[in-house]
Amino acid sequence: MIDISIREDILSRLEKTEEKFGVTILMAIESGSRAWGFASPNSDYDVRFIYVNKPEWYLSVDLEDKRDVIEYPIVDDIDLNGWDVRKALKLFWKSNPAFVEWIQSSISYIDDGCFRDKSLELLPEIYSTEKGIYHYRSMAKTNYRGYLREEMVPLKKYFYVLRPLFSIQWLEEYGTAAPIEFEKVLSLVTNNELLDTIHALLERKRVSEEKMLSPAIPVLNQYIEEQLTRLEDIKLPKADRSIEMAQLNELFHCVLGNKLTRGSM
């Protein structure tokens, strides 16, 4: 998973973030290829977190003008940034793919035992499969057309196309947010030739440098072309979003209430 010295470094940076900005981190997780299950030896550590400010921070005329993200430059392969909880919940309401993946990550650094659990409980009610399919289709199309139609291609980009396509298959079959682990969505694939090719590619990816180039893989390109063609004209019904904001407001107020309680102790 995560080397203990790296984990300690990350936790130290998160603690300093709380001190510097006067915030409380509700959850911090690993995102990106390490959480997806196909990291290279030199992959960055993509640390993402959700934080809450002091309650009075939200009681201001200029709230909308305040900065609601904390970002750092990448240092020693650690990419660290986070969102204020209000921003995060507004994006959750829109089925933001990053937030939906963050709350599902199996690699956790900080967990207050409330925010992520409550978000996961709300996920089936809040998440729009329609938006999920459109997002994953766009991701697959962009990465395929931008990187995989040459003779020599970056191997890692196959996973930035295949994972979205398999996630769409999950959404179509189950109607719930797709798991972020590649192996879980890969379980839907029944074509043995395709599976063998992907497993072989996974083994190469896990021992190769991030920017490694290799000849394009025809069987994968053919599958990708077929799926993108199938999805080109897909039309999906829009879901009723009328009651979801009330649930998110309730979670937001709960977070602020907990912050007040801790602050008075």
Q: 98-151 pLDDT, tens per residue?
A: 999 999 999 999 999 999 999 999 999 999 999 999 999 999 999 999 999 999
The predicted model scores a pTM of 0.93
Question: Tens of pLDDT along 2-31?
Answer: 999 999 999 999 999 999 999 999 999 999
Decide the pairing of beta strands 78-84 and 108-111. unpaired
Question: Tens of pLDDT along 56-87?
Answer: 999 999 999 999 999 999 999 999 999 999 99
pLDDT level of residue 206 (50, 70, 90 thresholds): confident
Burial 220-248 (b: 16+ CB within 10 A, else e): bbebbeebbeebeeeeeeeeeeeebeebb
Higher pLDDT, 193 or 239: 193
d(CA 140, CA 229): 12
